[in-house]
Amino acid sequence: MSVDFNGIGPGQVNTHKTTADKANAPKAQAPAEQAQAQTARGENVKLSSQAKELKQLEQRLSSYPETDDDRIEQIKAALADGSYKIDAEKLAQKMLEMDESIFG
């Protein structure tokens, strides 16, 4: 799928490079050369304290399982034996909260 920005479609722009453009284009570097060039320029990255905290949180969350298998089995068993009860008011409140969080 193409996106039309400012009325310019993919067929309206000449994207072919001329021989002169190709001759003046910089030559591709090997990854090792790129890393060496970046190091030579003295590029440094410093993470903010918020970024560091987010990384730590991400690591802690990755240690938890995506689903609570024990809870799923409890609900399945309750559904099977008919003992699972739905609190309609709590369900409605959660639906309203979700709607508010999505649509404002």
Domain assignment present for 1: no
- Total domains present in the chain: 1
Map residue 10 onto helix, strand or coil: helix
Domain assignment present for 30: no
Domain assignment present for 98: yes
pTM score: 0.34
Domain assignment present for 11: no
At residue 65, the pLDDT reads 83
At residue 57, the pLDDT reads 93
Domain assignment present for 87: yes
54-81 burial by CB neighbour count: b if 16+ within 10 A, else e? eeeeeeeeeeeeeeeeeeeeeeeeeeee
At residue 87, the pLDDT reads 93
Domain residue limits at 89: 49-103
Q: pLDDT truncated to tens, each residue of the chain (104 aa)?
A: 455 555 555 555 555 555 555 555 555 555 656 656 555 567 787 888 898 899 999 999 888 888 889 999 999 999 999 999 999 999 999 999 999 999 98
Domain assignment present for 83: yes
